[in-house]
Amino acid sequence: MNIKSIVQNELVEDPSSVWLLRGHDKFAYSDGVGSEQYLKKVLQRSNDLSTRSDELESCIKDWSSEYHLTTKRAQLLSGFRFDRTMKVLEVGCGCGAITRYLGETFDSVVSVEGSIARARLARLRTRDLTSVSIVCAPFQEIRFSQKFDIIFVIGVFEYSASFVQGDDPYDAVLKYFSDMLTPDGMVVIAIENQFGLKYLNACREDHLGSKFEGVEGYHRRNAGVRTFGKAELELYVKRYFPEVRFFYPYPDYKIPDGVLSTEFLRSGSGGEVVSQMLSRDYSGPNQPLFDEAATILELSRNHALEFFANSFLVIAGRTSLRGVTFDQLALLYSSGRKAEFSTETRILGGADGKWIVSKRSRSGASVVDRGTIRMADTDAPWIPAQSLLTRVALRAKANSATLDEIFAPCRKWVELLVAESSVRSGVALLSGSHVDSIWSNVYLDGQDLRIVDREWIWTDDIPLNVVVVRAIYDFLMRLERVPRFSRALGARRGRALIQGIASAIGVKLIPSDFDNFIALESEFQLIVGSTSKVHQRLYWRLFLIDRSTLRFFVGMLRSFHRYMERAESLSSRVFSKFSARR
């Protein structure tokens, strides 16, 4: 691509192959010198720069590096099918995470970034892609001699007032985008929701780092950044783009585990899925005011998830939407796994009106076999009901509920497992296909229990009691995110609590059941996620001995990690100011 043939301004190519607008030398936005220097070292020495690079992801050490290096960034757009011949403009490419995806997806991409340090990092991330040109300039000052088919504005629109003068900078920016597009061109905008549920639940506003700043209307200080609710954002966009479609990345567009359609959220059946993708406060540890998962279920029941989604992905066209499709109701991605075990789960609408859940390996292999464990593609009918895990979690909210009352629905689950087990040497064993038959994968379909999502197959038989321990432990880990629950679940010793819950559903556990659980789970996590067996076993044994002590140590580690992040950020800002004065 000859960038000079499509930009009328005078451009100078610097040694890093970034095209710099002559005379442009200042731009205020930065993650800090330390963060940018670290990213530069990582990108320079890395061989795999792709959007799904395990090599880059292994270099994550804090929130800043996670944002720029995680494979999740591209999941915001990878569920869409685009016409790769469309001419693309990206406004505000940052350090190149989304730019990389665009370069892999389209034949011609022009990415604009105001910061020369970040533009050079974006060039490093895309150095092997000849389809991408990086231009360092204020986007509103560039004069293009061609029109674009699609403009991507990911995490940038909210900053319009920082860079554009006028009574309404947001309107001015949208008009600029419209003028830069072909007659049937499109704009893609990703932005936080001013009224996202996370902000009502005491998460700090992502840009300003203070609680309730957005939901109260950004009155405390004029920072040149603001987000919008769905209605206001739609009104803005429709001034220049009559055809508008909203999609909903969860937990948010920054680090999405899934992208959901409007149809899926409006169905009233999406609460179970959304409630499993809980929010993050990117400013640090946060004490929630309420149980977010339970609240999501109520919002879904009242068809209100759209209004309270944490962020929006908007695709808007000057006429119709062409060259882009989203071929599912919802698309979910696995998290925390090695690339070979990474999956996509599509919720598809059938011709008969019934939905299908289709899970596929992202590698394209229908079966991934690693000796002890296999992962296989699965298809199953959508069950519009709450999982056993959700039903138990809601029962656990009653202050005075006993273990028998909370876990009563699980007795039928135990009966199902017993019916499918065989006894050898006095031990009830299940086939390896039950390794993940935990409560999050069990649904009541009419009068029958159904086990779904049976992607994992352990190659040996598994003691039934190990599956019971695994299910209870998974439930208790999820309970850690809930502010208030029944006093019956407050026991300090994890082993005693698990034994008490098992007893309530008719299962008697012995010490070897816990040893077998730790052995199986540590092997599972090592194969699937590369998690150290030593660290995992230490964590689980501490959980079984004293949950409170474990919480204390985890909290101390998180606080220390956060302190180091802030110290590094402060030193970077001081260094930046000192360098500027020199």
Ranges of each domain in the chain: 3-196+204-252+311-320, 389-545, 547-582
Q: What is the pLDDT of residue 581?
A: 42
Six-digit token string for 1:
């691509």
Q: What is the pLDDT of residue 382?
A: 93
What is the distance between the alpha carbons of residues 199 and 215, in angstroms, rounded to a whole number?
7
45-49, 527-531, 566-570, range with the lowest pLDDT:
566-570
What is the distance between the alpha carbons of residues 487 and 491, in angstroms, rounded to a whole number?
8
Q: What is the pLDDT of residue 42?
A: 97
DSSP SS3 for 376: strand
Angular region, 104: left φ>0, alpha ψ -120 to 50, beta rest:
alpha
Mean pLDDT score, 335-345? 89
Find the helix packing angle between 494-504 and 464-479, rounded to 10°.
120
Q: What is the pLDDT of residue 574?
A: 42
β 108-113/181-192 pair status: unpaired
Percentage of the chain surpassing pLDDT 90? Answer: 75
DSSP SS3 for 151: strand
Q: What is the pLDDT of residues 430-447, one digit of tens each?
A: 999 999 999 999 998 878
Sheet with 456-458, strands from edge to edge, namely: 367-369, 373-376, 456-458
Q: What is the pLDDT of residue 89?
A: 98
Mean pLDDT score, 161-167? 88
State the chain's mean pLDDT as an integer: 90
Q: What is the pLDDT of residue 24?
A: 78
Going by C-alpha positions, the residue among 102, 48, 250, 521 that lies closest to residue 58 is 48
Distance from CA of residue 530 to its chain's centroid? 20
Q: What is the pLDDT of residues 182-212, one digit of tens each?
A: 999 999 999 999 999 999 999 999 999 999 9
Q: What is the pLDDT of residues 391-423, one digit of tens each?
A: 999 999 998 999 999 999 999 999 999 999 999
Q: What is the pLDDT of residue 540?
A: 77
In whole angstroms, how far apart are CA 536 and each of 102, 478, 548?
Answer: 38, 17, 17
34 pLDDT exceeds 90? Answer: no
- Is 344 in contact with 455 (CB distance < 8 Å)? no
The values of phi and psi at residue 383, to 5°, are -110, 110
Q: What is the pLDDT of residue 287?
A: 87
Mean pLDDT score, 447-475? 94
User: How many other C-beta atoms are found inside a 10 Å radius of the C-beta of residue 556?
Assistant: 10
Which residues fall within 8 angstroms of residue 241, CB to CB, at 6 or more apart? 174, 178, 186, 187, 316, 317, 318
What is the distance between the alpha carbons of residues 78 and 184, in angstroms, rounded to a whole number?
22
Q: What is the pLDDT of residues 115-124, one digit of tens each?
A: 999 999 999 9
- Is 361 in contact with 434 (CB distance < 8 Å)? no
Q: What is the pLDDT of residue 582?
A: 42
In whole angstroms, how far apart are CA 333 and each of 25, 73, 183, 278?
Answer: 40, 12, 35, 14
DSSP SS3 for 346: strand
- Is 197 in contact with 295 (CB distance < 8 Å)? yes
564 pLDDT exceeds 70? Answer: no
Going by C-alpha positions, the residue among 477, 469, 460, 523 that lies closest to residue 501 is 469
Mean pLDDT score, 508-513? 95
What is the distance between the alpha carbons of residues 127 and 115, in angstroms, rounded to a whole number?
18
pLDDT band at 29 (very low <50, low <70, confident <90, very high): low
- 309: exposed, middle or buried (Cβ count in 10 Å: 0-12, 13-18, 19+): buried
- 404: exposed, middle or buried (Cβ count in 10 Å: 0-12, 13-18, 19+): middle
pLDDT band at 580 (very low <50, low <70, confident <90, very high): very low
User: How many other C-beta atoms are found inside a 10 Å radius of the C-beta of residue 220?
Assistant: 11
Q: Which amino acid type is present at position 68?
A: H
DSSP SS3 for 477: helix
Six-digit token string for 539:
């964590």
pLDDT band at 483 (very low <50, low <70, confident <90, very high): confident
Indicate the CATH number of 3-196+204-252+311-320 among 3.30.310.220, 2.60.120.10, 3.30.70.20, 3.40.50.150: 3.40.50.150
What is the distance between the alpha carbons of residues 193 and 384, in angstroms, rounded to a whole number?
27
Q: What is the pLDDT of residue 550?
A: 62
What is the distance between the alpha carbons of residues 296 and 301, in angstroms, rounded to a whole number?
9
What is the distance between the alpha carbons of residues 458 and 124, in angstroms, rounded to a whole number?
42
What is the distance between the alpha carbons of residues 106 and 82, in angstroms, rounded to a whole number?
8
DSSP SS3 for 329: coil
What is the distance between the alpha carbons of residues 68 and 328, in angstroms, rounded to a whole number?
27
Q: What is the pLDDT of residue 26?
A: 63
pLDDT band at 181 (very low <50, low <70, confident <90, very high): very high
In whole angstroms, how far apart are CA 332 and each of 277, 344, 466?
Answer: 10, 6, 28
Q: What is the pLDDT of residue 477?
A: 86
What is the distance between the alpha carbons of residues 49 and 18, in angstroms, rounded to a whole number?
18
More confident residue, 221 or 48: 48
Q: What is the pLDDT of residues 2-21, one digit of tens each?
A: 898 899 999 999 999 999 99
101-105, 499-503, 532-536, range with the lowest pLDDT:
532-536
Mean pLDDT score, 59-88? 96
pLDDT band at 30 (very low <50, low <70, confident <90, very high): low
DSSP SS3 for 572: helix
pLDDT band at 554 (very low <50, low <70, confident <90, very high): low
Percentage of the chain surpassing pLDDT 70? Answer: 92
546 pLDDT exceeds 90? Answer: no
Q: What is the pLDDT of residue 410?
A: 96
Which residues fall within 8 angstroms of residue 166, CB to CB, at 6 or more apart? 172
